[in-house]
Amino acid sequence: MAIALLAARPAHEWLLDRFADAELVIRQQPIAGVVLFVLLAAISAMIAFVSSAVLIPVAIYVWGPTLCFVLLWLGWFLGGLAAYAIGRYLGRPAVSRLVRPDALKRQERWARSGGKSLVAVLLIQLAIPSDLAGYVFGLIRCPLWTFIVALAVVEIPYALGAVFLGMSFVERRLVPLVIVGVAGTALSVAAFRAYHRHLDVPGAGSGTPSG
């Protein structure tokens, strides 16, 4: 969709005008704008059908790429923590209302097979959708600090990539947009393969449960 909008100059220019309109509104309520953006980013990290992709170009237009990255990372991080808390403390009935049960069951089985080491948790979070990862690790009672460290690290490259994609869209640069999109997919595939290699290492899946 982004490529199609870039190819259609009138549509892209129309969107930039809407970004300018949004900037006027946000400048009038700067704190509320920041809080709303972080909140929506957090929700997008918890619910599959909510995406922060449409918000990122607006945030770049208003705050610039650096602050957009910080706010986006913060929102995704808080959303991941909230998903973990729901999985760990409210359990499967609550999680099943928020994500597809079949996808949850598949990813939960995959996560359990690798144990709860930092390497395993890091690779799984790189490889599976963020709207599933927090719930899965909460359900399997992954140690909190292991999850927090992995979550904080994993969100950095994806937030950077998302901001770079947003900048490419705002500046109407097609080639960087395609390159970063492909790179993000390659990162997930590489993490998936690395995780399976990790499972082949003797003792890699022997993490012990934590209370």
pLDDT tens for 37-77 read 899 899 888 886 666 777 888 888 888 899 999 999 999 99
Residue 54 lies in a domain: yes
51 in Cβ contact with 59 (< 8 Å): no
Per-residue pLDDT band at 126 (split at 50, 70, 90): confident
Residue 210 lies in a domain: no
Kindly state the average pLDDT of the residues 90-117: 76
pLDDT for the residue 77? 95
CA distances from 4 to 53, 55, 88, 172 (A): 15, 18, 41, 11
**With 50 as the cut, is the pLDDT of residue 151 above it?**
yes
Domain holding 190, by residue range, is 2-200
pLDDT for the residue 13? 64
Indicate the DSSP class of residue 143.
-
Residue 205 lies in a domain: no
Residue of 60, 55, 51, 198 lying closest to 122 (CA atoms)? 198
Rg (CA), the chain: 18
**With 80 as the cut, is the pLDDT of residue 185 above it?**
no
- Whole-angstrom distance, CA of residue 168 vs CA of residue 39: 24
pLDDT for the residue 211? 32
39 in Cβ contact with 69 (< 8 Å): no
Residue 206 lies in a domain: no
Residue 207 lies in a domain: no
- Whole-angstrom distance, CA of residue 87 vs CA of residue 109: 15
- The number of distinct structural domains making up the chain is 1
**With 60 as the cut, is the pLDDT of residue 203 above it?**
no
pLDDT for the residue 210? 34
pTM for the full predicted model: 0.74
Residue 119 lies in a domain: yes
% of residues, the chain, pLDDT over 70: 66
